[in-house]
Structure 1
Amino acid sequence: MGKNTATRATESAASDAPQPTRRELRSRRQAAAVDAAFQLAGEEGAAGLTMRRLAQTLDLDVAALYRLFRDKDELLLTLCERTIELALDEIGEVTAAESWQDTVRRIAEATWQIQTRYPGITALTFARTTGGPAERRMVELLLAAFTRSGLDPERAALFYRTFVDTALGLCAHAAALSALNPEARAKDDTTWTRVYARLPESDYPETRAHADALSAVHQKAVYDTAVEAILVAAARAATG
């Protein structure tokens, strides 16, 4: 029995649809590999993200993966770009009415949220500079914010670097802590009360007095305090 008219029309439309170019196919495969790399790093940590392991996850020959990325470094830079894209999505539009300090604060918050969401990727890429389109947009946003503070170009560049290196460094610190096994993490978390709070008060009076407060400090509070300190310093430098 022959195909009905609707089926023939559907098949005809499918055959007439433009076929993806080689570049489009490669782009799609790269995107799939990046998605798989994020999942792999989330499940197995930074150490588990190898080209061989990623190829197995994708059910590809390693040689096929190297046709998508020249080497692991190109893969890592692509992953870094993806995290910046995600942060930019979190930030959204920066309006002219927003103060430069609030712009920097929102960038800082988005950076923390994304980088700590993917600690395995952060651990591998936090010190890298991609030069890619997402990073270019982020550089422009931050430099524009610090320039709006009244800083001259040299100081705006210095505070831009100070902000980025501090923010990503603290995110990487959080990522490293999250990679510890539960026993080691618990041991670190209790050191203030287990060791420092029991030091001889005659020798360590201030440490004893602050041990409980030190144990209560959270990583995000340290991050937020560092960001605020940079904003205060930038504002002072702009008027000095």
Structure 2
Amino acid sequence: MVTTRDLTAKDPTTTQRRLDPARIVASALAIADGEGLPAVTIRRLAQEHEVTPMALYRHFKDKDELLGALADRLLSDIDMPEPSEAPWDWQVREVLAAVVDALRPHPEVANLTLPRILLTEPGLELAERTLGLLVQGGFTPDQAGEIGRQSICSLITLVTTEPGGGVDPEVREQQIRNKRAAIAMLPPQRYPNVVAAADSLTGCEDPQAYYEIGLDLVVAGIRGMVK
């Protein structure tokens, strides 16, 4: 008896369709989001798509190339705002906020994006737009390049270190309780500010506020460097 799976295995057209590179990248991204980047392997993806690992190597020569494709996918998800008549620093904030919006759902993969920015069309668009705004704000091209790079690094760190991000809710709650218990044991006369800020130091009750503050700090720092 011939099964559907047998027919699929014998039909190169069906196999090729199932192994569309975009679908492979989508599968890899889902694995990274749910289980962490180390779980993304050629063998695991081959199992997901019911093919041999060699079939995937026809699309990605090695894991590094696959990880590069993951980064490119995130960069392509950046919804760049349209240029406007708003002040340059407002526009910089809008661009950086778009970067955060694209990276935020994928903290396990966010670190991969920085080396790919100048190697992909979406990354180059991000770089050109950001550098242009910084030059408009009064920085030299060299200064704009360094400020732009460090700003993106700050945003990536913001995403990858979100308090409680990627942690099981029960584990997160236990971690928060442990931290609060430790702070409660501190002498308030010696550490009055730490004790007063216990809630914000031990958790992230408002993730949106966390990102808004992070963006404001980056943009304020850029604005403060203008001479």
TM-score band by shorter chain is: 0.7 to 0.9
In structure 1, the residue matched to 2:184 is 197
In structure 2, the residue matched to 1:181 is 168
- Deviation string 1:78-111 (CA, Å, 9 cap, x unpaired) is 1111111111xx224223x133222222222222
- Number of residue pairs matched by the alignment: 209
In structure 1, the residue matched to 2:40 is 49
Do the aligned residues in 2 keep the contact of 1:192 with 1:212 (CA within 8 Å)? Answer: no
Do the aligned residues in 1 keep the contact of 2:80 with 2:95 (CA within 8 Å)? Answer: yes
TM-score by length of 1: 0.75
Do the aligned residues in 1 keep the contact of 2:72 with 2:116 (CA within 8 Å)? Answer: no
- Pick the aligned partner of 2:82 from 81, 86, 93: 93
- Pick the aligned partner of 1:210 from 183, 191, 197: 197
Whole-angstrom CA distance in 2 between matches of 1:145 and 1:191: 45
TM-score by length of 2: 0.79
Matches within 5 A, 1:115-194: 115-122=103-110, 125-130=112-117, 131-174=119-162, 177-194=164-181
Do the aligned residues in 1 keep the contact of 2:188 with 2:195 (CA within 8 Å)? Answer: yes
Answer yes or no: is 1:113 the counterpart of 2:104: no
Whole-angstrom CA distance in 2 between matches of 1:55 and 1:133: 28
Whole-angstrom CA distance in 2 between matches of 1:160 and 1:127: 11
Q: Secondary structure of the equivalent of 1:164?
A: helix
Whole-angstrom CA distance in 1 between matches of 2:131 and 2:208: 24
In structure 2, the residue matched to 1:31 is 22
Following superposition, the deviation at residue 196 of structure 1 comes to 0.9
User: Which structure's residues are more often helix, by fraction?
Assistant: 1
In structure 2, the residue matched to 1:82 is 73
- Deviation string 1:167-224 (CA, Å, 9 cap, x unpaired) is 01111113x8433333432233334532213312233222223224534654543433
Residue identity matched to 1:185: R
Gaps of 5+ in 2: 1-15
Whole-angstrom CA distance in 1 between matches of 2:47 and 2:64: 18
Whole-angstrom CA distance in 1 between matches of 2:177 and 2:133: 40
Same amino acid, percent of matched pairs: 25
Do the aligned residues in 1 keep the contact of 2:179 with 2:202 (CA within 8 Å)? Answer: yes
Whole-angstrom CA distance in 2 between matches of 1:120 and 1:187: 22
User: CA 1:156–1:198 in structure 2 vs 1: closer, same or farther (change >3 Å)?
Assistant: same
Bigger Rg, structure 1 or 2: 1
Question: Following superposition, which runs of at least 4 residues in structure 1 exceed 6 angstroms of deviation?
Answer: none
In structure 2, the residue matched to 1:4 is none
- Provide the alpha-carbon RMSD of the alignment: 2.6
Whole-angstrom CA distance in 1 between matches of 2:134 and 2:165: 32
User: CA 1:44–1:234 in structure 2 vs 1: closer, same or farther (change >3 Å)?
Assistant: closer
Whole-angstrom CA distance in 1 between matches of 2:30 and 2:199: 37
Residue identity matched to 2:116: T
Q: Secondary structure of the equivalent of 2:175?
A: helix
